Structure 1
Amino acid sequence: MNLLISLLLLSISLVLGSSPSGGYAPGIVQCPINSNSNSSSSSKKQWIKQRQLKVNKSLIEFLKSANLSNFNPQNFIDAKDYQGINLGLAFSGGSYRAMLNGAGQLMALDSRSSSSPSESGSGSGSLGGILQSANYIGGLSGSSWLLGSLAMQGWPTVEEVVFENPHDVWNLTSSRQLVNQTGLWTIVFPVMFDNMNKALKAKEKAGFETSLTDAWARGLAHQLFPKGKDNYGSSETWSDIRNIDAFANHDMPFPLLSD
């Protein structure tokens, strides 16, 4: 149940939300699928197959940059037939520490980062490209905040979020911490609390119980997502990721989250 709640709350405002209520409150709808789930759906299998094609190409480029002696990356991948190699990345839990630590690791593994050979022309020796070579990516707890924030913002680079994002997300300075006693916090918190309280009240009014998890999640949303038109992603669900171009075009690993 906690995992379901976490997935529903990891959302943002850059795509049209699919919440039945149009906000944070859940809604009761008819189940769109009524079948025996004995295997992955055909659409998921097709997505994985298309992602594999891009993974193979990226992995070949990465292995070429490693300059391994007596090794042909193209032949190595071709020997695996069309399936190639399944590579998964996992990031640990640990609240903000895990989120920020994972962000640094993710930046190092991303060929789009300015420090990667493809962007800086620095040659071999970089880990940049491993992210593009991954089929799956998983995050636990604090790292799920990282992956959820990136995925639902369209899968930007860490550098873009930290240095170029105009929405002030990931700003974890003292005045923006969820538990804070600074003078500025006495001004910021009442506004944020009123915002969070309205969301929780809407859920209760819809007939669903609320808990500290709801309050904590809505608080995190103020730090992880832009405000947008739907109040920091209050109407988003995790399944909305299929509307993200990076996911639809197989340009990111398949994300797996856990609490």
Structure 2
Amino acid sequence: MFSTLLVASSLPLLAVAQSAASLAYTPVYGTCPSGFTLVRQAGSSAADNQTLNPQEAAYISARKSNVLPNAWKTYLSNLEATNASLPSYVSDILSNSSSDTAVYPNLGIACSGGGWRATMFGAGVLNALDGRNETAVAFGTGGLLQAAQYVTGLSGGSSLVGSLAQANFPTMEVLAFGTNATDPTHAWGGWLSQITQQTPYTNATQNNEYIQLLIEEVRGKSEAGFAVSYVDLVARDNGRHFSNGTDLDNFFDDSLVHGAGYTWSGVANVSTFVSYEQPFPILVATLLSPNGNMSNVIPNSSFIIPISNPIMELNVYEMGSYDPTLAAFTPMEYLGTMNESICVTNYDQAGLVMGASGDWNTYYNTSESTLVSTSMYTMIEALNDTLPQTNIVLDGTLFPNSFHGPATEGTFIDAGETIIMMSDGGSDGEAVPIQPLLVKARGLDIIFAIDANQDWANEYWSAGGSLVNTQNRINTLFPTAYSFPPVPTNTSEFIAQNLSTRPTFFGCDSSTEAPLIIYLANGGPPRDGETSLTNVAPNNVTAEQLQAFLDQTYTIATQGNPANVSAAADPEWPACLACGVVDRARNRTGVERSGVCSSCFDRYCWNGSTYGL
């Protein structure tokens, strides 16, 4: 990787009156609370030695007890209303009259990267799983979203998951388009996809002024002594699209905070989180390190991060990694803190955390000529001219290194750095954020993996590359830390076997301890003959285009894999999906697969060369 230090000499900053947004975005120093611990050791790779954050464990336990029993019963009721012919064990598991939470399936959902395409595609798939969507309920898939324990997001998927969590877990329609409210300052205004991010005007002069406005909104953070980067500007733009407080009418009102002050740890205070109604949200980034082993970058690829660098997760309670090369976390609320005496708060801005997961522009920092030709360079130049810093890499997301020093020395490659940097969660080739769902301490049975990343050359279709790269990383580096089911060894196999053009189950062998992966990709157009709308890489999307995209994604998410190859959709897909969801729980009871579940697994499972067991 070309390591450009886009810096200027240290010059005195001019005193400028800070805007409300700048003040709300500025981290705050204060005395650490009594009993504060900066670094939590997460244990070794052994499942019996790994530990969850106590707050996360309490959240999941309360969700299992208070929410999931009814959620699973509601999902079952929706499914049975379709007159699906299910083996009795499916209803026995999902109805669970004994109320033993250990009987229920443990479900996680992963939402991939892929820019706006991934944000929209992921929302369309979640809409097909949402128990508040009457169409999904009637079809028999509605309710699975409410029954999930975890939902992860990366890059474009982090915009989806991040906005969903902080907007108080609305329906997908409300999330995408917003809702009317009496208090527009704090109302959820939707994604405002019709306004291009970072260049919202058609006039270049106005766009330059907009960039300067974003820079002024991070001035307070800079003057408080914290390093700022290009991603801080992205964070302030993210605030206008994926945080509360902005709508079409006030987007250009520079007197408002536009999402500044909304923190990722603050999600714990929204009502649907307090009542355990949300699946636990986790965003994923990769460590951008000067100390990485560059021989571990995937060869002959555009990826820039070695697969040996820790994959970082940013959840509501903490930031860190379960990779054995770190195996430690620091509190999210006090992100930016370097010791146990003086604590930092307000650093974990929701827009910045989403930006850390989605900083795909580091792909362009491979040569100076490539970097100079990008829109990022213009923003970096403007940032450097206004808030000059010395020896700061400006194309990554910057965090004061809470893991600095002896707490992680000897394992963590950046233990000696005072600042750690993060890049797009897919920068190492893993654009589907599966790793947090493979953590053994979380005990997940099923991962519903949504893939809208681009794998096909000159096309914007998905072809399983992220699963291939995850398999290679785990098998090569961490075979005891994570369990991952077998998948093809290259994207050519995915394409040849149509594994990404229809839902595919990986890990159908019940003897494996790995979760069953239900893989649903943006791998091709819907089979009903509609013109393709989802293989795009848009910068802005009108409301009409967004609705059409969501509608087509719903079609793709519900068409299944019909036994009749000439059919557009599989009428048994809702039943087959339920069979996959309960399969690990079924295995725990010792019951054999039967009925429609047997034929579903024949049709949907990949066994190493084709479908079937």
Answer yes or no: same fold by TM over 0.5: yes
Contact 1:87 1:133 in 2 (8 A): yes
Match of 1:81 in 2: 100
Could you tell me whether the CA contact under 8 Å between 2:24 and 2:261 is conserved in 1?
yes
Q: Deviations over 1:211-256 (max 9, x none)?
A: 1111112112212224369612211221101110000101110001
1:154-193 equivalences in 2 (<5 Å): 154-166=168-180, 168-173=189-194, 175-179=195-199, 182-183=202-203, 187=206, 190=209, 192-193=210-211
* Cα 1:223/1:41, change in 2 over 3 Å: closer
- Is 2:260 the counterpart of 1:234? yes
Look up the SS of the partner of 2:170 in the other structure: coil
Deviations 1:95-119 (CA, angstroms, capped at 9, x unpaired): 11111111111111111124232xx
Structure 1 gap ranges (5+): 1-20
The CA distance in 2 between the partners of 1:92 and 1:178, in whole Å, is 22
Give the letter for the 2:215 counterpart.
N
Identify the residue that residue 18 of structure 1 maps to in structure 2.
none
Name which of 62, 82, 104 aligns with 2:75: 62
Does residue 1:141 correspond to 2:155, yes or no?
A: yes
> Which of 199, 209, 216 pairs up with 1:198?
216
Corresponding residue pairs, total: 230
Larger RCO: 1 or 2 (CA < 8 Å, sep 6+): 1
Contact map agreement 1:64 1:73 (CA 8 A) in 2:
no
CA contact (8 A) 2:201 2:207 kept: no
Residue 178 of structure 2 contacts residue 189 of structure 2 at CA under 8 Å; is this kept in 1? Answer: no
Segment drifting more, 209-218 vs 155-164: 155-164
What is the one-letter code of the residue matched to 1:26?
P
Counterpart Cα distance in 2 of 1:193 and 1:206: 21
Q: Residues of 2 paired with 1:177 and 1:40: CA distance? A: 36
**CA-atom RMSD in angstroms:** 2.8
Match of 1:44 among 56, 63, 66: 56
Match of 2:118 among 95, 98, 120: 98
What is the alpha-carbon distance in structure 2 between the residues aligned to residue 170 and residue 212 of structure 1? Answer: 21
Deviation for aligned residue 1:207: 0.5
Check the 8 A contact 1:93/1:141 in 2, yes or no. Answer: yes
CA distance in 1, matches of 2:72, 2:164: 22
Which structure is larger by alpha-carbon Rg, 1 or 2?
2
- What amino acid is the match of 2:219? K
| Separation in 2, partners of 1:25, 1:115 | 44
TM-score (norm 2): 0.35
The answer to whether the 8 A contact 2:177-2:192 is kept is no
Q: Which amino acid aligns with 2:258?
A: Y
Q: Deviations over 1:138-163 (max 9, x none)?
A: 00111111111121111111112334
The 3 A distance-change label for structure 1 pair 204 and 29 is same
Q: Which has the higher strand share?
A: 2
Matched, 1:28 2:25: no
Q: 2 CA distance for matches of 1:197 and 1:168? A: 23
Out of 223, 231, 239, the position equivalent to 2:241 is 223
Q: Is the 8 A contact 2:106 2:149 kept in 1?
A: yes
Write the letter of the residue equivalent to 2:63: R
Stretches of structure 2 lacking an aligned partner (at least 5 in a row): 1-21, 43-50, 181-187, 247-254, 285-356, 358-613
* C-alpha distance in 2 between matches for 1:235 and 1:170: 18
Quote how far apart the aligned CAs of 1:75 are: 2.8
Q: What is the TM-score when the length of structure 1 is the normalising length?
A: 0.77
Aligned identity (percent) is: 30
